Structure 1
Amino acid sequence: MTNGTRWRSWLSHDHWFNDLPASLQDSLLLGMRQRRVTPGRFVFERDEPACGLYALLAGSIRFNQVSQQQHWLPQTATARPYWFGEVSLFDDRPRRHDIYAQDQVILLQMPQAAFEQLLQQYPQHWRSFRKLLAEKLGVAVPPVDEVTLLPTDERVAFRLLLLTEGYGEIDRSTRIVSIHDLPSKRGLGLTPEVVDRVLGQFAERGIIRRDHDFISVLNVDRLRRAARHRLTELTL
């Protein structure tokens, strides 16, 4: 049995993978490489360059705390496979977290260069990865070149959703981001003064709390509503 055949059997019950065009399924199976990570070792570290798309097949991964003042641990993933890493396609920033193996972990990894080359060659596949991310954010994800078309408030709300919800259910307990992670050429493009004004409004509405250099999201549902626009409206 070839790796591609074995991996296809592991992914056969995943609804996102099953909905992909056959050509994209084949490209992922051809381009992904298996990684085994022993307990306590990093999958990737904060501030590293983007390193591609991952499918968690076995084991559990955990995230670091964004602030050393936070002492609770994020939840572990329950679904298998669990896809993560696609946020890098919609951002221009390094990794925001240390992600490490809690126990023996088996992953499939599509390296960043191969990932980006695939989308350059077949730009129609962007839609599939936007759908994957939308499932985690709870809002539709606009094409990369249209994010800055969002109105100011909606753009800041979408950016906060991307930062706090981009890893979905495996990162539900760390809804805290550094103010320094907000700027993004692809996803924000606003002056610090404008961002501060919008954050102040969100704080007054009970959506977030400012704590020096950190932003705590207090109400994700309100944040999603604040990001609502024709470009982010989910269609069933």
Structure 2
Amino acid sequence: MASAPQLPLFYNGLEPLSSETHAGYRMRSVNAAPFLVGQHAVPLTVEEFPMVQRFMPIVFATGDEPVPLALMGLNEGVNVFIGEDGTLTEENFYVPAYVRRYPYMLARLRPDAQELSLCFDPTAPTVGAFDDGEALFENGQPTEFTRNILTFAEQFEQAAQKTGQFVKELREMELLMEGEVSIQQDGVEQPFVYRGFQMVNEEKLTNLRGDQLRKITQSGMLPLIYAHLFSLALMRDIFSRQATQGKMPQPQLV
């Protein structure tokens, strides 16, 4: 995931949505996300763990400020759930909120600004001065469609803050460790070994002090931790999908 001063993942630019500048703008409905083609990892919020664990492995990025990630492939440039045209290959699938939020997001227009403004990626092909699509403004005021976009962006921001606190507490309890997964493919002598991500240390989790265990149980962290741990079994499913799709993995992850 990109970090300041770079733009966030998927975004090529950010422009504040304005009732004056974008009075005639509309948003077209699409059933494809070309920006997801070849994207193997997508940021998550903790509120999504229970749903995501059914479809994708959940890991944590490396670095000083790790974020949870849903793995859509085990290798850079590989997404086993998205076709070459950007459409989902699965009928029953959970699309992370980070993807559904695009091309909008809340952002500070200046580093010293206190308030967040609703912005959009002006390079996105879904937003523009079109004749068709959902109007973003009427009579100088945001439409209900735009108000719903703002509400979703606000909810995402709140969930992101909760996620940051969740990761902070994991780190304070020293529960995160460098991850490694070894997968043996039939007919191949050497196993494929994936590293470059973080995961919860089950041994440390089991040996937590009573007060620490009570804390994460009462705060609701424990079910989220186990959703993450259970989801790791899907690594082999992703590996199998890559092999079936002719996207043979290399021993490298994120």
Normalization by structure 2: what TM-score?
Answer: 0.22
Structure with max Cα Rg: 2
Which of 1 and 2 has higher RCO (CA within 8 Å, sep 6+)? 2
Normalization by structure 1: what TM-score?
Answer: 0.23
